[in-house]
A = this chain, B = another copy of it.
Amino acid sequence: MSAEDILWPQLIVLSNRPDLTLQAQVRGAIAQAVIDHRLPPGTTLPSSRRLAEMLGISRNTVVSAYDLLTLDGFLLAQSRARHVVNPSALENASQAAGKQSEIYRRRPDWNTRLLHAPSRARHVTKPVDWYNYPYPFVYGQPDPTLFPTAEWREAVQLTLRSPVIRTWAGDQVDADDPVLIEQLIKQVLPRRGIWASQDQILITIGAQQALYLTAALLLNRERTVGLEQPCYPDIRNVCRQFSAHIVGLPMDREGLSLTAALADCDLLFVQPSHQNPTSVTTSLSRRRELLQAAAVHDLLVVEDDYDSELTFAGEASPALKALDQDDRVIYIGSLSKTLAPGLRLGYMVAAPEFIAEARAMRRLTVRHPPSNNQRAIALFLQLGHYHTAIKRLIAAYRSRATALAEGLRLHLPEMAFDLPTGGSALWAEGPPEISFDSKVKMAAKLGLLFDPGSVFFDHPDPPENFVRLGYSSIPVERIDSGIRALARTLYSSAPSGQHSRQTPPESL
């Protein structure tokens, strides 16, 4: 056995990565080695037959890899059988590496330079490998088994044709994909009762960018913003970026309670469809009262309608925006909960005066959302796949929500909650003496993940007896054992008999 038989397989390490063919791995490994100078210019490669033997793969794989590497200029074919590393392969690679300068040395003091420390703001966290846990009651993550794989592939394939690449490859500066705007106007917004024109719509990088742009244009230290209490922490953290005065407005089972504090606000952020974290759906009468109050106090209302499509039975209540005749509502939608959060596709609908400035602000922050994704999603919608995908999600989530509620009634009767009518999470209140925060570590040991409710309260000493249980990522058949694991975790130090059944409180 020659040295070659040992050396080459070390240079070309074949993994079983699903995202790379063997041929692609061979090409990648050789191209990488040339770029890293591990294969110096002029190096002779083994014959395709020899390398195929050494790597234990088919000869054709090596032949085509060599051919393509030659086309790409990494290799030179000196004969049918002999390939060497192309001496000019790296013409333009910089040799700057490692050059030392002898300038006056001084490290900046980052503590005094950084004006904000957003990394210290509290937000929802989860292990990066959450999907390896048997009982992941996490929130906002999709279930791969529900992703419309074939339909998405079809849409993406269509974006890869040369004439189509021309339409998205360029810099759009501050424009959106007209095909996507058309689909939102014709297909998505009408389901919410919203009829919008092009100058009232802006595509955003998920709902998060829509929230940020809105805050950047409307908040400063002189302005007061009303937030639901409890609420999504990164709405609060965005408002803090602009030093706005924050007022927490209590939730009840009808939605945001219309207290006198409203009068102090310039702007409200609300989630009427399925509030995060409480999953409360604002009633139609409360929606009308809220708009009435907004008009009376001249408040702007941001409606974060990120998952309204996920309504289990009957129609979703009309969006606030559908009832708004004064362009007072800034509407935010998202495909994160219904297609895939990783695609980061959201949109906003508001008065043309506002959208024009949001568009310019978007240009300054990112220019525009990636246009290949805008087109792929537009085609996905145009082919009718979105409608189908949502129906599939609703069927799955409805049964999971039911199983989750049954599991809680059976194994944790002392938990107070309402059965979700939509969305992807259940919000529950435990007995006051329970601390979900203190159980996170122990739960993880049992393969169980949940979101303690405390992070959603804007309070120095938030309650620890609330929990958000997401069901978008856990198979229905694991839910019952997942709740049993939760019960074990909570009462590992005390038998549950100690706790008396709580009656559901009137207010969350």
Contact code string A98-111 (vs B, CB < 8 Å = 1, else 0): 11110111111011
- With A28-B383, A96-B192, A354-B114 given, is the CB distance from A373 to B373 under 8 Å? yes
Q: Is the CB of A147 within 8 A of B169?
A: yes
Contact code string A20-35 (vs B, CB < 8 Å = 1, else 0): 1100100110111011
- A408 near B: Cβ within 8 Å? no
- A500 near B: Cβ within 8 Å? no
Q: Is the CB of A97 within 8 A of B322?
A: yes
- Stretch of A202-210, A250-258, A436-444 with 4 or more beta carbons under 8 angstroms from chain B: A202-210
- 3 closest A-B pairs by CB: A31-B384, A96-B318, A96-B193
Contact of A237 among B171, B173, B359, B364 (CB under 8 A): B364
Q: Is the CB of B171 within 8 A of A101?
A: no
Contacts of A217 in B (CB 8 A): 114-116
State A31–B170 Cα separation when bound (angstroms): 30
12 contacts between A and B (CB under 8 A): A18-B163, A19-B167, A94-B193, A97-B190, A100-B325, A107-B326, A110-B354, A113-B300, A115-B220, A241-B361, A342-B372, A343-B370
Q: Is the CB of B186 within 8 A of A169?
A: no
Tell me the nearest residue of chain B to A387, going by C-beta.
Answer: B35
- A63 near B: Cβ within 8 Å? no
Q: Is the CB of A366 within 8 A of B205?
A: yes
- A396 near B: Cβ within 8 Å? no
- A4 near B: Cβ within 8 Å? no
Q: Is the CB of B28 within 8 A of A171?
A: no
- A446 near B: Cβ within 8 Å? no
State A173–B159 Cα separation when bound (angstroms): 27
Q: Is the CB of B218 within 8 A of A92?
A: no
- A295 near B: Cβ within 8 Å? yes
State A367–B72 Cα separation when bound (angstroms): 36
Q: Is the CB of A169 within 8 A of B156?
A: no
Q: Is the CB of B170 within 8 A of A342?
A: yes
Q: Is the CB of B118 within 8 A of A147?
A: no
- A349 near B: Cβ within 8 Å? no
- A394 near B: Cβ within 8 Å? yes
- Stretch of A49-57, A137-145, A459-467, A484-492 with 4 or more beta carbons under 8 angstroms from chain B: A137-145
Q: Is the CB of B19 within 8 A of A164?
A: yes
Q: How many residues of A contact B (CB 8 A)?
A: 157
- A365 near B: Cβ within 8 Å? yes
- A414 near B: Cβ within 8 Å? no
Q: A19-B167, A241-B361, A370-B370 are in contact. List 17 more A-B contacts (CB 8 A).
A: A24-B383, A31-B383, A89-B387, A92-B391, A94-B192, A96-B316, A96-B318, A97-B190, A105-B325, A114-B217, A116-B216, A117-B360, A144-B162, A205-B369, A208-B366, A343-B370, A344-B370
- A59 near B: Cβ within 8 Å? no
Contact code string A184-224 (vs B, CB < 8 Å = 1, else 0): 00110011110100000000011011001000111110000
Tell me the nearest residue of chain B to A219, going by C-beta.
Answer: B115
Q: Is the CB of A309 within 8 A of B92?
A: yes
Tell me the nearest residue of chain B to A125, going by C-beta.
Answer: B173
CB distance from A190 to the nearest CB of B (A): 6
Q: Is the CB of A92 within 8 A of B187?
A: no
Q: How many copies does the complex hold?
A: 2
- With A94-B316, A107-B328, A144-B169 given, is the CB distance from A114 to B186 under 8 Å? no
Q: Is the CB of A141 within 8 A of B171?
A: yes
Q: Is the CB of B238 within 8 A of A35?
A: no
State A504–B340 Cα separation when bound (angstroms): 56
- A506 near B: Cβ within 8 Å? no
Contact of A370 among B36, B72, B367, B373 (CB under 8 A): B373
- With A114-B357, A220-B115 given, is the CB distance from A165 to B147 under 8 Å? yes
CB distance from A139 to the nearest CB of B (A): 9
Contact of A32 among B94, B187, B288 (CB under 8 A): B187
Contacts of A295 in B (CB 8 A): 103-106
- With A95-B315, A104-B292, A366-B366 given, is the CB distance from A119 to B359 under 8 Å? yes
Tell me the nearest residue of chain B to A473, going by C-beta.
Answer: B170
State A166–B145 Cα separation when bound (angstroms): 9
Q: Is the CB of A385 within 8 A of B19?
A: no
Contact of A326 among B108, B165, B318 (CB under 8 A): B108
- A175 near B: Cβ within 8 Å? yes
CB distance from A206 to the nearest CB of B (A): 6
Contact of A368 among B128, B173, B234, B344 (CB under 8 A): B344
- A67 near B: Cβ within 8 Å? no
Q: Is the CB of A357 within 8 A of B140?
A: no
- A390 near B: Cβ within 8 Å? yes
Q: Is the CB of A19 within 8 A of B379?
A: yes
- With A27-B384, A298-B108, A384-B32 given, is the CB distance from A341 to B171 under 8 Å? yes
- With A209-B365, A318-B96 given, is the CB distance from A360 to B168 under 8 Å? no
